[in-house]
Chains A and B, each alone.
Chain A
Amino acid sequence: MANPGEPEVSRRGVLVGGTATAMIGILPGRQAQAQPARSDAFRQGFDVSFEVNGKRSSLQLDTRTTLLDALRERLQLTGTKKGCDHGQCGACTVIVNGVRINSCLTLAVMHQGDKITTIEGLGTPDQLHPMQAAFVKHDGYQCGYCTPGQICSAVAVLDEIKAGIPSHVSPDLASTPELTNIEVRERMSGNICRCGAYSNIAEAIAEAAGSKK
């Protein structure tokens, strides 16, 4: 453990809770009192700022906070869902710097300066994103819990195909992948739908892509 009194450490932006006095400057007193941590030495607050749906957010977070929890618990963007919380179901899928990821398997503090798009940033109830409209039209859900993740993933899948990124089912690595049903299904395999709306989801994605293949 580095010496918390060493000025060099704070210049690097390291917040080391080595002593109780070091903590006072970091955490708001209210939080420090309300949340007894396992050990004073590790009670943390870490500053991070990123842009969510075009809006700048600056937060002071426990280092353990996942991006998913920061979005839901701190920014009240509850459209993004917590399913398995282990990267297996895809309900937490968001788009970070144009790329879809599982927000449950990444720490919020690792996203300094990033641009994050959640389901709330894709469209509004009055002005749906074409992918949202296609999911409604094709009934691409039943209970709806996986839907925000499915839609964020689907929007990014179309970009990945456009960018020429191959998949496991692409017949030829040398050529540009095509937007076929089997390609969409393979690429969407990280999004599980317990209700089994997969056929309708695939149809919705095909329509949003402007293709009926």
Chain B
Amino acid sequence: MRAFTYERATSAREAAAKAQETPGAKFIAGGTNLLDLMKLEIETPRHLIDVNGLEFDKIEKTKDGGLRIGALVRNTALAADMRVRRDYGVLSRALLAGASGQLRNKATTAGNLLQRTRCPYFYDTNQPCNKRSPGSGCAAIVGFSRQLGVIGVSETCIATNPSDMAVAMRALDAEVETIDAGGRTRKIPIADFYRLPGDTPDVETTLSSGELITAVTLPPPLGGTHIYKKVRDRASCAFALVSVAAVLQRDGTGRVAVGGVAPKPWRIEKAEAELRGGAKPFSTRLLADAKPTRENAFKVPLVERTVAAAMHEARQQ
């Protein structure tokens, strides 16, 4: 691990300003992803700003009847919150499907949104990777790509976003609240939060330099049946090959976001018009622009089958 200086933040505004003005500064909260990457020297911050002391650890009702989740709320606490379990079951289920008990106890809401890809070539510092080392090339496209992306990918990067939580947040249309170095606050719809790789796969979100996530807000409850279905190589403690976050209504309408297939949670609202026709027309439209590799082509039919399984499960409830 490279050496770094460390400070404990006492105000969000000061932390954002400090992060912007300090070369190589990064925020640290749970640290479960950042420290993993720092040990491999994939992340090499020169200064860490510990934001754990900021008071962003509460889940509160919003005026419009939604929920405001503090950036520092731990994944376990969020999944276990009774309001989330009752009104946003897809979010509880997505969180509980991710990582292990120990990691969920430490990982935060904001950190979960910002976790880096699990592409094996991003992790292997002996291999080229445009995300880790811009311009070095992509070993994944010609390599072991079974786990990697089939849509939204580019010629320079086929990595996927590993988060389960973000897939549920996308289905729910959450908003990411931030404060920037100038003290300005804004709300970013989760649909606009992640960037597709294009020629700059190292730039993953629309956050500006120093911008700090303070909360994630959920709209008022949507009702319906909430399902999170995750297909993975192990029954527990493994990243998704494909996952489906679905909120399905009795009249056959609904919202469906898919994980494990793209650099961001993959949802196309127009495709949801096909949900009444079943999983096939929906997923055909959702993945119309898919460009899978030979090794991950199985994900295209797997999405359809996982959506079908989610719809079947919803009908049983």
Asked if A38 and B3 sit within 8 Å, CB to CB, the answer is: yes
Asked if B237 and A190 sit within 8 Å, CB to CB, the answer is: yes
- Residues of chain B within 8 A of A156, CB atoms compared: 101
| Contact bitstring A90-125, B, C-beta under 8 A = 1, else 0 | 100100000111100111011010000000000000
Asked if B5 and A17 sit within 8 Å, CB to CB, the answer is: yes
Select the stretch in B44-52, B144-152, B166-174, B262-270 that faces chain A.
B44-52
Could you list some 11 contacts between A and B, CB below 8 A?
Answer: A90-B102, A93-B102, A106-B31, A107-B48, A112-B8, A157-B101, A173-B85, A173-B86, A174-B86, A189-B101, A189-B237
The count of chain A contact residues (Cβ–Cβ below 8 Å) is 55
A184 to B172, CA, bound (A): 30
- Residues of chain B within 8 A of A157, CB atoms compared: 101
Asked if B85 and A174 sit within 8 Å, CB to CB, the answer is: yes
Asked if A63 and B48 sit within 8 Å, CB to CB, the answer is: yes
| Contact bitstring B233-244, A, C-beta under 8 A = 1, else 0 | 001110000000
A133 to B21, CA, bound (A): 54
Asked if A86 and B36 sit within 8 Å, CB to CB, the answer is: yes
Extra contacts, 19 of them, besides A102-B102, A153-B102 (Cβ < 8 A), are A2-B22, A13-B8, A14-B6, A14-B7, A15-B5, A16-B5, A63-B4, A63-B6, A87-B36, A100-B102, A101-B102, A109-B50, A110-B31, A165-B76, A174-B85, A174-B86, A186-B236, A189-B100, A189-B236
Q: Which of A137-188 contact B (CB under 8 A)?
A: 153, 156-157, 160, 163-168, 170, 173-174, 185-188
| Contact bitstring B67-104, A, C-beta under 8 A = 1, else 0 | 00000000010011000011001001100110111110
A110 to B236, CA, bound (A): 29
- Residues of chain B within 8 A of A38, CB atoms compared: 2-3
B106 at the interface (CB under 8 A from A): yes
Within the complex, the shortest CB–CB distance from B216 to chain A, in Å, comes to 19
Asked if A165 and B79 sit within 8 Å, CB to CB, the answer is: yes
Asked if A168 meets B97 with Cβ closer than 8 Å, knowing A13-B7, A105-B36, A189-B236, the reply is yes
A153 to B102, CA, bound (A): 8
- Residues of chain A within 8 A of B308, CB atoms compared: none
A66 to B106, CA, bound (A): 14
Contact of A164 among B3, B50, B80 (CB under 8 A): B80
Q: Which of B103-118 contact A (CB under 8 A)?
A: 103, 105-106
Within the complex, the shortest CB–CB distance from A11 to chain B, in Å, comes to 11
Asked if A173 and B100 sit within 8 Å, CB to CB, the answer is: no
A81 at the interface (CB under 8 A from B): no
Within the complex, the shortest CB–CB distance from A84 to chain B, in Å, comes to 10
Contact of B5 among A63, A86, A170 (CB under 8 A): A63
**A interface list, Cβ under 8 A from B:** 1-2, 12-17, 37-39, 42-44, 46, 62-64, 66, 85-88, 90, 93, 99-102, 105-107, 109-110, 112, 153, 156-157, 160, 163-168, 170, 173-174, 185-191
A76 to B272, CA, bound (A): 58
Contact of A166 among B21, B39, B92, B235 (CB under 8 A): B92
Asked if A101 meets B106 with Cβ closer than 8 Å, knowing A87-B32, A165-B76, the reply is yes
Contact of A64 among B3, B47, B106 (CB under 8 A): B3
- Residues of chain B within 8 A of A44, CB atoms compared: 3-6
Contact of B23 among A1, A39, A46 (CB under 8 A): A1
Number of A-B contacts (CB under 8 A): 137
Asked if A190 and B103 sit within 8 Å, CB to CB, the answer is: yes
B196 at the interface (CB under 8 A from A): no
B1 at the interface (CB under 8 A from A): yes
Asked if A42 and B35 sit within 8 Å, CB to CB, the answer is: no
B62 at the interface (CB under 8 A from A): no
Residue of chain B at shortest CB distance from A187: B101
Most chain A CB within a 10 A radius of its CB, from B39, B89, B101:
B101
A101 to B6, CA, bound (A): 21
Asked if A63 and B35 sit within 8 Å, CB to CB, the answer is: no
A145 to B161, CA, bound (A): 33
Most chain B CB within a 10 A radius of its CB, from A12, A85, A189:
A189
Asked if A190 meets B102 with Cβ closer than 8 Å, knowing A86-B39, A110-B31, A173-B89, the reply is yes
Q: Which of B3-36 contact A (CB under 8 A)?
A: 3-8, 10, 18, 21-23, 28, 31-32, 35-36
Asked if B3 and A43 sit within 8 Å, CB to CB, the answer is: yes
Asked if A190 and B80 sit within 8 Å, CB to CB, the answer is: no
Within the complex, the shortest CB–CB distance from A185 to chain B, in Å, comes to 8
